[in-house]
Amino acid sequence: MTIESDAGTRQAEADPSKAQLTNASLELTPELADLYRRFDEANLSPLWTQTSNVLTFHPMSKAVPFRWRWADLYPLAERSGELVPVGRGGERRAIALANPGLGGEPYATPTLWAAIQYLGARETAPEHRHAQNAFRFVVEGEGVWTVVNGDPVAMRRGDFLLTAGWNFHGHHNDTDQPMAWLDGLDVPLSDYIDIGFFEYGTERVTDESSPELSRSERLWAYPGLRPLSGLDEKVSSPIAAYRWEYTDRALTEQLRLEDEGHPATVSQGHAAIRYVNPTNGGDVMPTMRAEFHRLRAGATTRPTYEVGSSVWQAFDGEGAMIVDGVRHQLDKGDLVVVPSWVPWSIEADSTFDLFRFSDAPVIERLGFARTRVLDHP
Amino acid sequence: MTIESDAGTRQAEADPSKAQLTNASLELTPELADLYRRFDEANLSPLWTQTSNVLTFHPMSKAVPFRWRWADLYPLAERSGELVPVGRGGERRAIALANPGLGGEPYATPTLWAAIQYLGARETAPEHRHAQNAFRFVVEGEGVWTVVNGDPVAMRRGDFLLTAGWNFHGHHNDTDQPMAWLDGLDVPLSDYIDIGFFEYGTERVTDESSPELSRSERLWAYPGLRPLSGLDEKVSSPIAAYRWEYTDRALTEQLRLEDEGHPATVSQGHAAIRYVNPTNGGDVMPTMRAEFHRLRAGATTRPTYEVGSSVWQAFDGEGAMIVDGVRHQLDKGDLVVVPSWVPWSIEADSTFDLFRFSDAPVIERLGFARTRVLDHP
Amino acid sequence: MTIESDAGTRQAEADPSKAQLTNASLELTPELADLYRRFDEANLSPLWTQTSNVLTFHPMSKAVPFRWRWADLYPLAERSGELVPVGRGGERRAIALANPGLGGEPYATPTLWAAIQYLGARETAPEHRHAQNAFRFVVEGEGVWTVVNGDPVAMRRGDFLLTAGWNFHGHHNDTDQPMAWLDGLDVPLSDYIDIGFFEYGTERVTDESSPELSRSERLWAYPGLRPLSGLDEKVSSPIAAYRWEYTDRALTEQLRLEDEGHPATVSQGHAAIRYVNPTNGGDVMPTMRAEFHRLRAGATTRPTYEVGSSVWQAFDGEGAMIVDGVRHQLDKGDLVVVPSWVPWSIEADSTFDLFRFSDAPVIERLGFARTRVLDHP
Amino acid sequence: MTIESDAGTRQAEADPSKAQLTNASLELTPELADLYRRFDEANLSPLWTQTSNVLTFHPMSKAVPFRWRWADLYPLAERSGELVPVGRGGERRAIALANPGLGGEPYATPTLWAAIQYLGARETAPEHRHAQNAFRFVVEGEGVWTVVNGDPVAMRRGDFLLTAGWNFHGHHNDTDQPMAWLDGLDVPLSDYIDIGFFEYGTERVTDESSPELSRSERLWAYPGLRPLSGLDEKVSSPIAAYRWEYTDRALTEQLRLEDEGHPATVSQGHAAIRYVNPTNGGDVMPTMRAEFHRLRAGATTRPTYEVGSSVWQAFDGEGAMIVDGVRHQLDKGDLVVVPSWVPWSIEADSTFDLFRFSDAPVIERLGFARTRVLDHP
A277/D226 Cβ within 8 A:
no
Spatial separation of the C-alpha atoms in residues B163 and B173, rounded to whole Å: 17
Who's near C289: CB < 8 A, 6+ residues apart?
Answer: C274, C283, C357, C358, C359, C360, C361
Spatial separation of the C-alpha atoms in residues C185 and A334, rounded to whole Å: 64
SS3 B42: coil
Who's near B96: CB < 8 A, 6+ residues apart?
Answer: A44, A45, A46, A47, A50, B106, B107, B108, B113, B114, B115
Average pLDDT rounded to a whole number, residues D99-103: 97
User: Who among D215, D227, D274 is closest to A228 (CB)?
Assistant: D274
Who's near C252: CB < 8 A, 6+ residues apart?
Answer: none
Beta bridge mates, D137: D160, D182
Amino acid at B128: H
The tally of CA atoms less than 13 A away on the side-chain side of residue C293 is 26
Who's near A136: CB < 8 A, 6+ residues apart?
Answer: A117, A146, A155, A159, A160, A161, A163, A181, A182, A183, A184
Report percent pLDDT > 90 for chain B: 89
First-last CA distance in chain B: 22
**pLDDT in the model for residue A30:** 96
A250/D222 Cβ within 8 A:
yes
Provide the ipTM. 0.94
User: Who among D222, D272, D284 is closest to A249 (CB)?
Assistant: D222
Residue pLDDT, tens place only, C94-113? 999 999 999 999 999 999 99
Least confident of C259-263, D7-11, D133-137, D235-239: D7-11
Who's near A41: CB < 8 A, 6+ residues apart?
Answer: none
Sheet arrangement for strand C304-306? C326-330, C319-323, C344-348, C304-306, C371-373
**pLDDT in the model for residue B21:** 84
3-state secondary structure C38-73: HHHHCCEEEHHHCHHHHCECCCCCCCCCEEECHHHH
For C121-252, strand residue ranges (E) read: 124-130, 134-137, 142-148, 151-156, 160-163, 169-173, 179-185, 198-200, 225-227, 241-242
Spatial separation of the C-alpha atoms in residues B324 and B341, rounded to whole Å: 9
**pLDDT in the model for residue B1:** 38
**Beta carbon pairs, C and D, within 8 Å:** 306
Q: Which residues of C touch B281 (CB under 8 A)?
A: 226, 277-281
Please list the alpha-helical segments (H only) found in chain B.
7-14, 30-41, 51-54, 70-83, 187-192, 215-220, 244-259, 360-365
Sheet arrangement for strand A66-68? A66-68, A335-338, A310-316, A352-358, A289-295, A270-275, D225-227
Average pLDDT rounded to a whole number, residues B262-285: 98
Who's near A228: CB < 8 A, 6+ residues apart?
Answer: D266, D272, D273, D274, D291
Beta bridge mates, A171: A125, A146
Contact (CB, 8 A) for B359 and B307: no
Contact (CB, 8 A) for D250 and D158: no
D237/A277 Cβ within 8 A:
no
Closest chain D residue to A263, measured at CA:
D229
Report the alpha-carbon angle A132-A135-A137, nearest 5: 155
Give, to the nearest 10 degrees, the angle between helix B30-41 and helix A70-83. Answer: 160
**Beta carbon pairs, B and C, within 8 Å:** 146
Å from B281 to nearest chain C CA?
Answer: 4
Average pLDDT rounded to a whole number, residues A24-29: 88
Q: Is C287 exposed, middle or buried (0-12, 13-18, 19+ CB in 10 A)?
A: buried
User: Who among B225, B250, B264 is closest to C250 (CB)?
Assistant: B225
Total residue length of chain C: 377
**pLDDT in the model for residue C87:** 85
Q: Which of D31, D47, D280 to mutate to test the interface with C (most CBs of C within 10 A)?
A: D47
List the one residue out of A321, A320, A314 whose CA is nearest residue A343.
A321
Spatial separation of the C-alpha atoms in residues B46 and B56, rounded to whole Å: 17
**pLDDT in the model for residue A90:** 81
Contact (CB, 8 A) for A36 and A42: no
Neighbours of chain C (3+ CB pairs under 8 A): B, D
Beta bridge mates, A119: A179
* Beta strand D198-200 pairing with D124-130: antiparallel
Higher pLDDT residue, D289 or C53? Answer: D289
Residue pLDDT, tens place only, A183-241? 999 999 999 999 999 999 999 999 999 999 999 999 999 999 999 999 999 999 999 99
List the one residue out of B372, B301, B373, B319 whose CA is nearest residue B67.
B319
* Beta strand C66-68 pairing with C371-373: unpaired
First-last CA distance in chain D: 22
CB atoms within 10 A of CB C243: 21
Spatial separation of the C-alpha atoms in residues A108 and A97, rounded to whole Å: 5
Å from C261 to nearest chain B CA?
Answer: 11
pLDDT, averaged across chain B: 94
Beta bridge mates, A289: A358
Assess whether pLDDT exceeds 50 at residue A6: no
**pLDDT in the model for residue D18:** 59
pLDDT in tens, chain C (377 residues): 344 434 334 344 444 455 778 888 889 999 999 999 999 999 999 999 988 889 999 999 999 999 999 999 999 999 999 999 998 878 899 999 999 999 999 999 999 999 999 999 999 999 999 999 999 999 999 999 999 999 999 999 999 999 999 999 999 999 999 999 999 999 999 999 999 999 999 999 999 999 999 999 999 999 999 999 999 999 999 999 999 999 999 999 999 999 999 999 999 999 999 999 999 999 999 999 999 999 999 999 999 999 999 999 999 999 999 999 999 999 999 999 999 999 999 999 999 999 999 999 999 999 999 999 998 76
**pLDDT in the model for residue C22:** 80
Neighbours of chain D (3+ CB pairs under 8 A): A, C
Q: From the centroid of its chain, how far is CA C43?
A: 36
**pLDDT in the model for residue D25:** 84
**pLDDT in the model for residue D8:** 38
Report the alpha-carbon angle A66-A67-A68, nearest 5: 125
CB atoms within 10 A of CB B30: 7
Closest chain C residue to B218, measured at CA:
C253
**pLDDT in the model for residue C334:** 98
Task: Give all domains of chain A, ordered by start, each with its CATH number.
Answer: 7-54 (no CATH), 66-241 (2.60.120.10), 244-373 (2.60.120.10)
Contact (CB, 8 A) for C9 and C372: yes
**pLDDT in the model for residue D89:** 79
Backbone conformation region of residue C325, classed left if phi is above 0, alpha if psi is from -120 to 50, else beta: left
**pLDDT in the model for residue C348:** 98
Total residue length of chain B: 377
Residue pLDDT, tens place only, C242-264? 999 999 999 999 999 999 999 99
Spatial separation of the C-alpha atoms in residues C280 and C121, rounded to whole Å: 38
Å from A221 to nearest chain D CA?
Answer: 5
Spatial separation of the C-alpha atoms in residues B267 and B283, rounded to whole Å: 21
pLDDT, averaged across chain D: 94
3-state secondary structure A271-297: EEEEEECCCCCCECCCCCEEEEEEECC
Spatial separation of the C-alpha atoms in residues A45 and B104, rounded to whole Å: 8
* Beta strand A198-200 pairing with D304-306: unpaired
- List Cα–Cα distances, B291 to A165, B158, B335, B357, C239, in angstroms: 29, 12, 14, 6, 21
Q: Which of A229, A233, A246, A358 to mutate to test the interface with D (most CBs of D within 10 A)?
A: A229
Average pLDDT rounded to a whole number, residues A83-94: 89
**pLDDT in the model for residue A377:** 62
Binned at pLDDT 50, 70 and 90, residue D5 comes out as very low
Spatial separation of the C-alpha atoms in residues B88 and B74, rounded to whole Å: 23
Spatial separation of the C-alpha atoms in residues B260 and C213, rounded to whole Å: 14
User: Who among C106, C194, C307 is closest to D61 (CB)?
Assistant: C194
Contact (CB, 8 A) for C299 and C348: yes
Instruction: Tell me D245's DSSP state.
Output: H
First-last CA distance in chain C: 22
Contact (CB, 8 A) for A112 and A266: no
Stated as kind and residue range, the H or E segment containing A33 is helix A30-41
Average pLDDT rounded to a whole number, residues B265-283: 98
pLDDT, averaged across chain C: 94
pLDDT, averaged across chain A: 94
Task: Compute and round to an integer the Cα radius of gyration of chain A.
Answer: 23
User: Who among D42, D68, D90 is closest to C51 (CB)?
Assistant: D90
Total residue length of chain A: 377
Contact (CB, 8 A) for D335 and D95: no
Residue pLDDT, tens place only, C157-196? 999 999 999 999 999 999 999 999 999 999 999 999 999 9
Residue pLDDT, tens place only, B288-325? 999 999 999 999 999 999 999 999 999 999 999 999 99
Amino acid at C281: G
Spatial separation of the C-alpha atoms in residues B70 and B330, rounded to whole Å: 9
**pLDDT in the model for residue C13:** 46
Least confident of A33-47, B86-100, D280-294: B86-100
